Structures are given as structure tokens and as C-alpha cells.
């Protein structure tokens, strides 16, 4: 079997999102099972090139960046690269995120698969926008009309997308993002930092970082040694035009400025040892399709506070292997963080159960097998 993923953020890169991490994890797992995997994507010229990553062939095409012609020429680049791969070794599966099948070709006999990671309709609706943007909405619908099969990273993204795009009874198997639980694992030799709270994610409104920062005065009032570590890429606040980190400062009283530390972006492979140092991991995202960083922290055996919105209850059974919060309410976030920081027995209980759930439901070993079975069904 030859599987091709269309991915524009395959590591290593200065900044990698959840789709890039998921694609690398799954691709490497498939290769270990004897499946040929190729990655094709569009990148800035300085990041373009061809290399092999643990048996995975990665083709980074130098994308056109002209505002008037890139929408026409970039799909041609992708399709030609796929055609060359198909000629060398026929492709069985071409997989893309929601909008990807709208603009690629080159492998006529391959099955076109869309994996639902949270597309344009999904996030416009779940984040409160009234309707999708016209052309992006049409492009996404066209992509779905060309797909031969669908799968999704959570029940929530599958059910929501089914409703928004009127997919009716189309089968959508649920294949969560896999985590390498050999890399994301407990490190008992690394001591925890008392009071350390860890947030990992893009620093923007959608990730709930503002509400987490607003929760810190209440947290520190109850747990004086509490300290928030923020890991992730800064963004521009669209409402102010300023750095989002700079805007967050207004929510922190002067006497608590030293209670929040921004650590910048980190490579994914450096995260497990940082997670090991934290006592609590907190991800109050307003909406996710799945939330791979939550599962990575669970796999490390850490108590996690995650959002009760969207797929939150699919990842965490509240009170059993983590805690859920209202991501829009700083008081709700503070309450759950205080509960964990103040109760070492609760932390130990949730940590153990979190690791077990990650191993049983989200590990690479479990999910590679399920993905192969899905691809085989696509080819029947």
C-alpha cells in the first residue's frame, strides 16, 4: 500500500501545528508496518526540499506567494508532484484535511480520503461566526464532493461537520490523533516544580490563554507558590494590532507579573521533559477538533484541566482521568487548578488514570492498526 498525505506543516519547522504532529506520528507508524508513505506539501522557499524521515518520504514544494496567481499555480505544483509519485509507485490513498481534495489530482486510481481535523465550516460555526466565508465555504463543499471516504479525529468534529455540510448517512469512522506514548511518558527522575502550571499552544484568543491569565490572581490567592509557564507562538491580536502577549499584561496585576513566564515556542520532542516538571497542565481552549496536546500531557502522566466544550468529554472523563472547565469563565478555570494544586492525592489519582487512558485509546500502537484497517476498507 502507498499512502500520500498532503501536509503543509510536517516537522521539523520553527512552528508546527497539531496536524503536522499527527501526520508525522501516523506516517512513521505506518512505515514501521511496511506501508510506503509520502508527504507532499507547500512551504516557503527556504524550507523546501526533499528528505527522508525514518522511512517517510517528505517532499516540500516551494510555494508560489504571488497574491493573484498562487491559488492557480500551487494546486498545479501539488498535482504534478503527486503524478510523479504515482508513476514511480502507484498511489492507493491520498489523504488531506477538509479543504484539500478541492485542488489536487495526479493519482487517478487512488482513493481520496478527507480526515476531519476541523475545517472552515466547523470553526466558523463553533466559534460563534454567523456563516462561512463565501469562497472558502464553497471550496470546502467542493472538496467533500470529490472525496471517496471520510474519517474524523473526534465524534464531535464528525457530528458537527455532518450537520453543517448535510452529509447525511455517510460513514465517518473516528480515528483520534495518535500520540507516541514511548516519547510522551512519565519521567519519574525529573522532580516537579511546586505550583508549576503549564500551558502549551498558540497564544491567541481561541486557545483560552486570556481566561487562564485572568484566573491567575484567584489561583495565587489560594496557592501562593503557583506559577504559570506559557509555551507557544505569539500572534497579533486582530482587535488591537498588538502582540497578544503584550495585550495579556493588562490582565495581570503588577504584583503578579513574575507569576507568568513566557517560554516561546519549543520543538515537540522537547515537551515531555518540560511537562514532567509541571504539577498541572491547563488547556482551556474555546474549541478544538480533538486537542492533541491534552493527550500528550495525559500520556506523560500529568493531571490535565481541559475544556468542557467540543470534544473535551471524549478525551477526559471529568474527575476520573482529568478535570474539565468552562473555558470562557476564569473562575471555573481557577477552581479546577486550585483543586489540583491543593490536593496531591487527587493529582496522583488523575495522573495514573490519564496515562492509562492515553495508552488504551490514543497510543500510536493502537491507532496505527485502526488506520490501516480503515485504508484497507477504502480499497475494497
Q: Does an H or E element contain 38, and which?
A: strand 36-43
Domain boundaries, given as residue ranges, for the chain:
2-178+364-378, 196-362
For domain 2-178+364-378, give the CATH superfamily. Answer: Glycogen Phosphorylase B; (3.40.50.2000)
Give the dihedral sign, CA 154/159/165/167: positive
Question: What mean pLDDT, rounded, does the chain reach?
Answer: 95
* 167 phi/psi in degrees, rounded to 5: -85, -5
Burial of 66 (0-12, 13-18, 19+ CB in 10 A): exposed
pLDDT of 206 reads 96
262-303 per-position pLDDT tens digit? 999 999 999 999 999 999 999 999 999 999 999 999 999 999
- CA nearest 281: which of 302, 267, 309? 302
pLDDT of 16 reads 83
pLDDT of 301 reads 97
pLDDT of 321 reads 97
For domain 196-362, give the CATH superfamily. Answer: Glycogen Phosphorylase B; (3.40.50.2000)
Is there a shared CATH topology between the 2-178+364-378 domain and the 196-362 domain?
Answer: yes
**What is the value of pTM for the model shown?**
0.94
Strand-strand pairing, 196-200 and 149-152: unpaired
Confidence of residue 312 (pLDDT cuts 50, 70, 90): very high
More confident residue, 7 or 69: 7
Cell numbers at 162, concatenated: 455532518
pLDDT of 40 reads 97
pLDDT-above-90 percentage for the chain? 88
Burial of 135 (0-12, 13-18, 19+ CB in 10 A): exposed
Cβ contact 184:273 at 8 Å: no
Task: Kindly tell me if the per-residue pLDDT of 131 is higher than 90.
Answer: no
HEC per residue, 296-335: HHHHCCCCEEEECCCCHHHHCCECCCEEEECCCCHHHHHH
Task: Kindly tell me if the per-residue pLDDT of 70 is higher than 80.
Answer: no
| Integer Cα distance of 288 and 22 in angstroms | 14
Task: Kindly tell me if the per-residue pLDDT of 67 is higher than 80.
Answer: no
Task: Kindly tell me if the per-residue pLDDT of 55 is higher than 80.
Answer: yes
Confidence of residue 133 (pLDDT cuts 50, 70, 90): very high
Q: What Rg do the C-alpha atoms of the chain give, in angstroms? A: 21
- CA nearest 282: which of 193, 216, 364? 216
210-230 per-position pLDDT tens digit? 999 999 999 999 999 999 999
pLDDT of 114 reads 98
Task: Kindly tell me if the per-residue pLDDT of 68 is higher than 90.
Answer: no
Q: Does an H or E element contain 360, and which?
A: none
Cell numbers at 147, concatenated: 472525496
164-215 per-position pLDDT tens digit? 999 988 999 999 999 999 999 999 999 999 999 999 999 999 999 999 999 9
Task: Kindly tell me if the per-residue pLDDT of 359 is higher than 80.
Answer: yes
Cβ contact 218:297 at 8 Å: no
CA distance readout (Å), 97 to 85, 86, 231, 262: 20, 20, 26, 31
Amino acid at each position: 500500500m502507498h499512502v500520500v498525505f498532503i501536509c503543509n506543516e510536517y516537522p521539523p519547522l520553527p512552528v508546527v501545528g497539531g496536524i503536522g504532529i499527527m501526520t508525522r506520528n501516523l506516517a512513521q507508524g505506518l512505515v514501521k508496518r511496511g506501508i510506503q508513505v509520502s508527504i507532499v506539501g507547500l512551504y516557503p522557499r527556504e524550507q523546501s526540499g526533499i528528505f527522508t524521515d525514518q522511512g517517510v518520504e517528505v517532499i516540500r514544494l516551494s510555494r508560489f506567494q504571488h497574491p493573484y496567481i498562487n491559488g492557480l499555480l500551487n494546486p498545479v505544483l501539488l498535482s504534478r508532484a503527486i503524478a510523479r509519485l504515482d508513476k514511480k509507485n502507484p498511489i492507493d490513498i491520498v489523504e488531506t484535511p477538509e479543504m484539500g481534495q478541492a485542488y489536487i489530482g495526479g493519482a487517478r486510481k487512488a482513493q481520496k480520503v478527507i480526515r476531519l481535523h476541523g475545517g472552515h465550516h466547523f470553526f466558523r460555526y463553533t466559534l460563534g461566526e454567523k456563516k462561512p466565508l463565501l469562497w472558502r465555504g464553497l471550496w470546502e463543499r467542493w472538496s467533500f464532493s470529490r472525496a471517496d471516504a471520510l474519517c474524523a479525529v473526534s465524534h464531535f468534529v464528525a457530528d458537527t461537520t455532518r450537520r453543517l455540510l448535510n452529509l447525511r448517512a455517510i460513514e465517518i469512522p473516528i480515528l483520534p490523533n495518535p500520540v507516541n506514548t514511548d516519547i510522551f511518558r512519565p519521567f519519574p527522575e525529573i522532580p516537579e516544580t511546586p505550583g508549576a502550571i503549564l500551558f502549551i499552544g498558540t497564544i491567541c484568543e481561541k486557545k483560552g490563554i486570556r481566561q487562564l491569565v485572568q484566573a491567575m490572581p484567584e489561583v495565587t490567592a489560594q496557592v501562593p507558590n503557583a506559577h504559570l509557564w506559557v509555551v507557544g507562538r505569539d500572534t497579533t491580536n486582530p482587535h488591537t494590532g498588538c502582540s497578544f502577549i503584550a495585550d495579556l499584561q493588562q490582565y495581570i496585576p503588577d504584583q503578579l507579573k513574575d507569576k507568568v513566564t513566557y517560554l516561546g515556542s519549543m520543538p515537540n520532542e522537547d515537551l515531555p521533559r518540560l511537562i514532567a516538571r509541571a504539577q498541572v497542565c491547563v488547556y482551556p481552549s474555546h474549541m478544538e477538533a480533538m486537542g492533541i496536546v491534552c493527550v500528550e500531557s495525559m500520556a506523560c502522566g500529568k493531571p490535565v484541566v481541559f475544556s468542557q466544550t467540543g470534544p473535551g468529554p471524549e478525551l477526559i472523563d471529568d474527575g476520573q482521568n482529568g478535570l474539565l472547565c468552562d473555558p470562557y469563565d476564569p473562575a471555573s478555570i481557577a477552581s479546577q487548578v486550585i483543586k489540583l494544586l491543593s490536593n496531591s492525592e487527587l493529582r496522583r489519582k488523575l495522573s495514573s488514570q490519564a496515562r492509562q487512558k492515553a495508552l488504551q485509546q490514543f497510543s500510536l500502537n493502537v491507532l496505527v492498526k485502526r488506520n490501516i484497517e480503515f485504508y484497507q476498507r477504502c480499497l475494497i
